[in-house]
Amino acid sequence: MAFNLGSYYKINCKISGKVFDVRDESLNNGAYIQQYTWKNIDGQKFMVYPLDNGTYAFASKLSGKVFSVRAASMDNQAVIEQYDWSAEDKQKFYLTLQEANYYSGTSQLSGKVWDVRDSSTHNQALIQQYTWKDIDGQKFSFTPVDTISVPSTTTTPLPGVPEYHGYNDQLPDQTYPVVTAYTVAPFFAISDPRYGTNTARQVKENPYYLYIRKEYWKLLQSHTFAPGEDATFVYRTGISTVDQTASSTTTSTTIGADGGLQFKKLSVGLSSQYTTELQTSQSTTDAEMKEQEVAITLTNIHPYPVAWSKYILVREYHVERSDGSIVNTPWTVSLPNRTQSVYYPNEEMLRRPVLIEFENYSL
């Protein structure tokens, strides 16, 4: 079944015709998930969000909390409760089609499945985990019942690096920042100071956020070299500690030393979506990227002046609420492997190298 991000679902029990329900319409951690007669209330409506490796998270429209195996148990009869999202295996479930329209829900933690306790047909029977027995008390269907507004934005291709057309050109300090990629982030993976720990309010006002990447070219250095002149310049690449903290605090992601995204805390389970839709890679190192100074020495080997400028690609990230306001502050990373020099005259005009460059990295 293809679940729609734009829908809340009711979860129907084949054995009883009743639906999953948050006991006592509780907003608290530890409240049981039970079966109950359909009443069309928020405690019976759930966001079904896809995670890595074919698993799903199930978030209550009432409380903003997610299904979780109590005490991270591996045992039969451990109940399914609601709890704050922690991205642990006890909160991730596989859905497997067992017969027409009916699925089993398997815990990634234990390998056991959702089960209506004692195969009951009564209200308030608990939903627990149990070894698969291929019975109706372990089969469930999903019906969309409410819509959710899913935000989007427009992307624009990154413009090219500014070029010289003559010696007297004054190239811009940066190109205009454009949105080149974005992804939709579920509320439970975003730490929003507007809501703090009030996930019940957060899920109602901001079920989804936009996690946006902008890009632009930033001027690092510019100089016109006299014939035979050499010169050394220093510039900075990478990401500051302050910006790493902003990224970690807001999205539970950081930038790895290899330029890829690192997934921590609340973002664990979202790596496939984020890397694909933000058009980046997942970091393969535990080390975080830092700011770094680069010294560059250039020599004009020609008997005429050469105008030179060097740009670096900057990625700026931020998270937007549904009202367009920004969560926390944006963070930027200057990619050390994405620099580009431009010249006048350029290499195409001369059909040979314009300047000789040597780079030396230092902390």
The tens digit of pLDDT for each residue in 163-178 reads 999 999 999 999 999 9
CA 340 to chain centre: 29
Distance, in Å, from the CA atom of 197 to the CA atom of 199, rounded to the nearest integer, reads: 6
Give the domain CATH number at 132. 2.80.10.50
* Span of 76-85, 144-153, 301-310 with lowest mean pLDDT: 301-310
How many domains, in total, are found in the chain? 2
What token pair was written down for 200?
A: 């019940």
pLDDT surpassing 80 at residue 73: yes
Do 137 and 46 lie in a common domain? yes
- Total-model pTM: 0.94
Do 227 and 100 lie in a common domain? no
CA 291 to chain centre: 23
What pLDDT sits at residue 354?
64
Look-up: residue for tokens 């148990």? 73
What pLDDT sits at residue 1?
75
Do 208 and 300 lie in a common domain? yes
Distance, in Å, from the CA atom of 93 to the CA atom of 87, rounded to the nearest integer, reads: 11
pLDDT class for 360, splitting at 50, 70, 90? low
What token pair was written down for 256?
A: 């790895």
Among 21, 321, 16, 273, CA closest to 145: 21
Do 189 and 58 lie in a common domain? no
Do 280 and 194 lie in a common domain? yes
What token pair was written down for 94?
A: 């596989």
Q: Render pLDDT for 193-214 as a digit per residue (tens, 0 to 9).
A: 999 999 999 999 999 999 999 9
Do 207 and 350 lie in a common domain? yes
Do 88 and 231 lie in a common domain? no
At which of 107, 129, 147 does a domain end? Answer: 147
- Is residue 81 one of the residues assigned to a domain? yes
CA 318 to chain centre: 11
What pLDDT sits at residue 346?
80
What pLDDT sits at residue 2?
85
Q: Render pLDDT for 222-272 as a digit per residue (tens, 0 to 9).
A: 999 999 999 999 999 999 999 999 999 999 999 999 999 999 999 999 999
Do 101 and 240 lie in a common domain? no
Distance, in Å, from the CA atom of 309 to the CA atom of 146, rounded to the nearest integer, reads: 55
Do residues 193 and 250 make contact, with C-beta atoms less than 8 angstroms apart? no
Do residues 331 and 243 make contact, with C-beta atoms less than 8 angstroms apart? yes
pLDDT surpassing 60 at residue 362: no
- Is residue 188 one of the residues assigned to a domain? yes
> How high does pLDDT run on average in the chain?
96
At which of 147, 169, 196 does a domain end? Answer: 147
What pLDDT sits at residue 151?
98
Q: What percent of the chain has pLDDT over 90?
A: 94
Do 108 and 242 lie in a common domain? no
Do 105 and 221 lie in a common domain? no
| SS3 category, 64 | coil
What pLDDT sits at residue 358?
62
What pLDDT sits at residue 356?
67
Range of the domain at 358: 178-362
Length of the chain: 363
| Residues in contact with 236: Cβ distance below 8 Å, sequence separation at least 6, in sequence order | 291, 292, 293, 294, 334
| Residues in contact with 352: Cβ distance below 8 Å, sequence separation at least 6, in sequence order | none
Q: Render pLDDT for 272-302 as a digit per residue (tens, 0 to 9).
A: 999 999 999 999 999 999 999 999 999 998 8
Residue 117 DSSP code = G
- Is residue 157 one of the residues assigned to a domain? no
pLDDT surpassing 70 at residue 133: yes
Residue 288 DSSP code = B
Among 258, 180, 189, 262, CA closest to 215: 180
At which of 131, 147, 163 does a domain end? Answer: 147
